[in-house]
Structure 1
Amino acid sequence: MELHVLEHPLIEHKLTVLRDKNTPSNTFRELVSELVMLEAYEATRNLDIEDRQIETPVAPMVGKKLCSPRPMVVPVLRAGLGMLDGMTRLLPTAEVGFLGMKRDESTLDIVTYANRLPEDLSGRQCFLLDPMLATGGTLVAATHYLAERGAKDVTAINILAAPEGLERLKQDVDPSINLKVVVCAVDQKLNEHAYIVPGLGDAGDRLYGVID
């Protein structure tokens, strides 16, 4: 596993406003989108490209273009949907799949309830979107879910991570998978309810409201 913790004044500023419990949902959504755009710049650094012959208004030249097949962006429902706009603004040619996973709050097990993905992801560069990397269970399950369909190059984009979740990734993700994790910050720990501390609360609820 390769970890990238982004350090930049804009990220630190936006993340502080994001964490504030008094930040309203509309501002929270905008900040998530902006942070993901900044993360996506780093996350897509190693996208596969190939030569492309073009003509500028002045002269012919050989430029670059993204290779086929197109990258696959996979938000983990529901909170990952809040990251999709920022990612597709930077990578508009990507194909989008969806993966529904949730944590059973009593057992902390990961339950998969929906998937909209191609059966064959061989040769695809895949990007998993999920705001919080807490216990790591969802990300481990999602990474293996993609790997079962042939994906070998997976980048997880998370806003925050906990040390416990990162350690679980190192232990539980199949080493044959090229996994890169891009985060804005690694926080202190998980509390007794498996929430990141200091964190920002429940990302899904802060994006879309509380669902009873």
Structure 2
Amino acid sequence: MPQVHHVTHPLVQHKLTLMRMKDSSSNSFRTLLNELAALMAYEVTRDMPVVDVEIETPMETMMSPMIDGKKLTFASILRAGNGMLDGLLSVVPNARVGHVGLYRDPDTLQAVEYYFKMPTGMEGRDVIVVDPMLATGNSAAAAITKIKSAKPRSIKFLCLLAAPEGISTLHAAHPEVPIFTAAIDRGLNDHGYIVPGLGDAGDRIFGTR
């Protein structure tokens, strides 16, 4: 799976293990999620294009690299994707933020769109789509299809956990989109949840059931 980047840094894996524990409080879960998102931000932005610009230090003039192109955009798949934004923005504070509202039909497990809002001038922007879980892959694929209509320069997908079924679905729909994940779990249960997983990420972030 050349388009799947498994982030195996020890800090990432340690914090993910703590998040998986069923007795972690919502506060602990949110804190760990922010920390994990910040760590993974370094991995997913590793190959961002840069250009040398002329600057003046207190000592002399020099050429130094800066990120090339328009500001990065984080596209959150509601609602759980919002739990990753603070951590990502702590690393890239000038990034723009977009939202894609999708819910999973409990009978068909297909994604149903109810909201879409992206920054203006998406042409030339690099987009990182964020959602803690890549389960069936239907929501991620639908979100990326919608985002493509805004014609960004590039798209990546960032999650904490991925199931093989979700990876296959996303790659079938968007084979050029790389996936960055902290873990590839065994698969899905009969209800479309990742196992062993960490439960419903949205419920654990917001303390709902």
What is the TM-score with the length of structure 2 in the denominator? Answer: 0.95
Superposed CA deviations along residues 149-177 of structure 1, whole A, max 9, x for unmatched, are 1125111110000001101122122x4xx
Pair 1:113-2:111 in alignment: no
Contact 1:121–1:146 (8 Å) recurs in 2: no
2:206 matched to which residue of 1? Answer: 208
Contact 1:120–1:150 (8 Å) recurs in 2: no
Give the whole-Å Cα distance in 2 for the aligned partners of 1:70 and 1:132. Answer: 25
Contact 2:12–2:40 (8 Å) recurs in 1: no
User: Structure 1 residue 188: deviation in Å?
Assistant: 0.4
AA of the residue aligned to 2:46? R
Contact 1:119–1:149 (8 Å) recurs in 2: no
User: Structure 1 residue 69: deviation in Å?
Assistant: 1.4
2:124 matched to which residue of 1? Answer: 123
Q: How does 1:64-143 map to 2 (within 5 A)?
A: 64-118=65-119, 120-143=121-144
Aligned length: 208
Superposed CA deviations along residues 102-129 of structure 1, whole A, max 9, x for unmatched, are 1111221101111111465222100111
2:154 matched to which residue of 1? Answer: 153
Contact 2:77–2:101 (8 Å) recurs in 1: yes
User: Structure 1 residue 57: deviation in Å?
Assistant: 2.0
Pair 1:194-2:195 in alignment: no
**Change in 2 beyond 3 A, CA 1:119/1:111:** farther
2:170 matched to which residue of 1? Answer: 169
Q: How does 1:39-78 map to 2 (within 5 A)?
A: 39-78=40-79
AA of the residue aligned to 1:89? S
- The DSSP-based 3-state class of the residue aligned with 2:101 is strand
Give the whole-Å Cα distance in 1 for the aligned partners of 2:57 and 2:28. Answer: 41
Contact 2:97–2:119 (8 Å) recurs in 1: no
Give the whole-Å Cα distance in 2 for the aligned partners of 1:11 and 1:71. Answer: 23
Give the whole-Å Cα distance in 1 for the aligned partners of 2:58 and 2:118. Answer: 41
1:2 matched to which residue of 2? Answer: 3
2:178 matched to which residue of 1? Answer: 180
Q: CA RMSD in A?
A: 1.4
2:34 matched to which residue of 1? Answer: 33
Give the whole-Å Cα distance in 2 for the aligned partners of 1:105 and 1:203. Answer: 16
Give the whole-Å Cα distance in 2 for the aligned partners of 1:195 and 1:33. Answer: 22
What is the TM-score with the length of structure 1 in the denominator? Answer: 0.93
- The DSSP-based 3-state class of the residue aligned with 2:178 is strand
Greater mean alpha carbon deviation, residues 6-15 or residues 201-210: 6-15
Give the whole-Å Cα distance in 1 for the aligned partners of 2:48 and 2:150. Answer: 20
Unaligned runs of 5+ residues in structure 1 are none
Contact 2:80–2:202 (8 Å) recurs in 1: yes
Percentage of matched positions with identical amino acids: 42
Superposed CA deviations along residues 79-122 of structure 1, whole A, max 9, x for unmatched, are 00000001111111111111111111122110111111146522
- Give structure 1 regions of 4+ aligned residues with deviation exceeding 6 angstroms: none
Give the whole-Å Cα distance in 1 for the aligned partners of 2:173 and 2:11. Answer: 33
